[in-house]
Amino acid sequence: MSVLLTLCVVLLPLATLGRGGRRWEPCTDLRPLDILAEAVPPNGAESGISVSRVQGALGLQLSAAALHAMSFPASRIFVRCDLFPEEFSIVVTLKAPSLPPKKNEYLFTVVAEGTDALLLGLRYSSTRLHFLFLSKDRAGAWQTRVSFQSPALADSQWHTLVLAVSEDSFSLTTDCGVPVDILSDVPFPATLSVQGARFFVGSRRRTKGLFTGLVRQLVLLPGSDATARLCPCRNADIVLSIPPILQGLPARPEDNEVLKYPYETDMKVTLGSRPPCTKEEDAQFWFDAGRKGLYLCVGSEWVSVLAAKEKLDYVEEHQSLFTNSETLGIEVFVIPETGLFIATANRRATSAIYKWTDGRFASYQSIRTHQAQSWRHFTIGKKIFLAVANFDPNEQGQEFSVIYKWSQRKLRFTLYQRVATHSARDWEAFEVAGEHFLAVANHREGDNHNIDSVIYKWNPRTRLFEANQTIATSGAYDWEFFTVGPYSFLVVANAFNGTSTKVLSHLYIWLVGSFQLFQSFPTFGAADWEVFHIGDRIFLAVANSQSYDVEMQMQNDSYVINSVIYELNVTAQTFVKFQEIPTCSALDWEFFSVGEDYFLVVANSFDGSTFSVNSIIYRWQGYEGFVAVHSLPTFGCRDWETFRTTAGSYLVYSSAKEPLSRVLKLRTG
């Protein structure tokens, strides 16, 4: 096997998955699942279900006739597999009945249809709230009960309960009060199958134990503690999700309720989820209780008037972006007065540009490429450019990467300049002393990975990029430019020298008109550098993809290696190792912030046996360094980018194993 073929197999195992392959995904969407809305039948009254209004809020009341009507098969929401989430929250808003001692009523259950076994349930009594679930081991199966001292719910008021479950930890919060935490000897099962099961709302499939109170909200939130999303709000109208039948505007209360429940027909402050901002709402306020923010409707935008510190709560899928083919790189950019765009570098003959339209990316322009690896957006004066790094030659066998220029007349990118490259992986655009440069990472020429990468300089007279400096590289994968005070730096990620991925990657400093070697780093199939600042501190993170040498036998665990974060020691004038983080063939780092918190997300692509590998979000925690806080299911993850719109902050990742990229929304509280 040639060195080149070996490298393709070992270093970048991102070819198309065979027929037997299957991408792992969670069983449900990681968004609130409205169990109550799923269960409500279209003919509610005929099915023994009535809607009652108490204290201005609508709730559902069940009768014995509603036992089977208020149910649905678990497969309706568990569409990808049949396992109940290992970590989740259950949110219930209810007006509880007053029960005699020793009587229990079910708020909801999940029941196996064939055996009638109770797999999961929430049961209420006058003194206890019981969370029930089925446990199994080699000895058999039994029902586990986690019991909370029941709060005083039977006071004719609405109450919201949040039950958060994570392994052996169970937490109950009532009306945003102090949570009650229980550590159980028996953890919630990691593989609770709901195949052939049904959800029942307000019962256990039997008349005995039928819930006789009112229920307004019943939501399952996989993978997250919902408490932060609801609290500190204590209003029953501030909810994750309620069925449409209960979303009617509250009627004016009876005369004897006016003092206790005041209403105004022309309210100037709106509560709840984000309302529309139109001419009708102009000059009105909206209070976001979750974020503790006050907003004013101006034109068509909600403008922040007073806001609390924003914090990342959880991440949810916002859009599945289907692409022309597998995507090896993405670039997010803004064109003034035109909009937000994303360019995808696709493996096959056509790459694409998408425009953010109505809260989603929509196809905007297709551009012919040759196994594109990455895009780079940059500007020179008022000129807007987009450069693509092509890995393969064109139909005539010529290797060119291409620079496109934005046409204000056509509102499209048009071909501007072709540049001869060799299996180009990346472009980096930067400015030094008022002059503009482009650096290309040439990966190999034929089987030779030890070749020159080139830095091009913009010639204002010819209005073209011209070769300015060559730098010897070994399987170059990425360039990263940054400045420290008056000094300019350029660091290269060297991935392979023809025999080994253990290669020195080099940092260069701009001195006397060219880049000179400043420092070298031992790296292992380096695929990306990311520079970022936290306060006055400067960090440099490298993504190591594999430890491999042609002399050694191939091992699956060679993909699971440490990637490294370095910090600049100003006194020693060098970068020193700050933290090592275990990664699975890491191909990219992306730094971002939410409020006053800082995060790094890594693109884990392969663990030696599967491309279904979780990519991890790490949060900066000072002395502890970066600590893992969110685990995101990804498939052959290649690149991460972050962006922000008026609607919030987002992450987008590309997959080099399937024609599907995903846009994720950062939910904050």
DSSP string covering 9-69, please?
HHT---S---TT------SS-SS-EEHHHHH--SSTGGGTEEEEEETTEEEEEE-GGGTTT
Are residues 162 and 90 in contact, defined by beta-carbon separation less than 8 angstroms? yes
Closest CA to 296 of 273, 266, 265, 275: 275
Closest CA to 77 of 109, 144, 31: 31
CA distances from 577 to 485, 493, 522, 539, 564 (A): 21, 16, 11, 10, 7
DSSP-derived secondary structure letter, 3: H
Q: Are strands 214-222 and 197-201 parallel, antiparallel or unpaired?
A: unpaired
What 3-state DSSP class applies to 410?
A: coil
Distances (CA, A) of 301 to 277, 282, 640: 6, 9, 28
Distance CA 326, CA 660 (A): 7
Q: Which structure tokens are listed for 664? A: 């994720």
CA 463, 469, 473, 478: dihedral to nearest 10 degrees? -40
320 SS3 class: strand
Question: Average pLDDT of each block of 10 consecutive residues along the chain (669 residues)?
Answer: 38 37 49 84 66 81 73 85 88 87 89 89 89 86 87 78 90 85 89 91 86 90 73 54 66 39 46 76 75 76 73 94 96 96 96 97 97 98 97 93 97 98 98 97 97 98 98 98 96 96 98 97 98 96 94 71 97 96 98 95 96 97 96 97 94 97 92
Pairing of strands 372-380, 383-390: antiparallel
| pLDDT of amino acid 645 | 92
How far apart are alpha carbons 41 and 91 in whole angstroms? 21
**pLDDT of 178:** 82
Please tell me the predicted confidence (pLDDT) of residue 253. 41
Burial 470-498 (b: 16+ CB within 10 A, else e): ebebbbbbbbbbbeeeeebbbbbbbbbeb
| Confidence at residue 65, expressed as pLDDT on a 0 to 100 scale | 65
Residue tagged 């909370």 (tokens): 148
Q: Which residues pair with 369 in a beta bridge?
A: none
pLDDT at 265: 36
Determine the pLDDT at residue 299. Answer: 75
Q: What is the pLDDT of residue 20?
A: 36
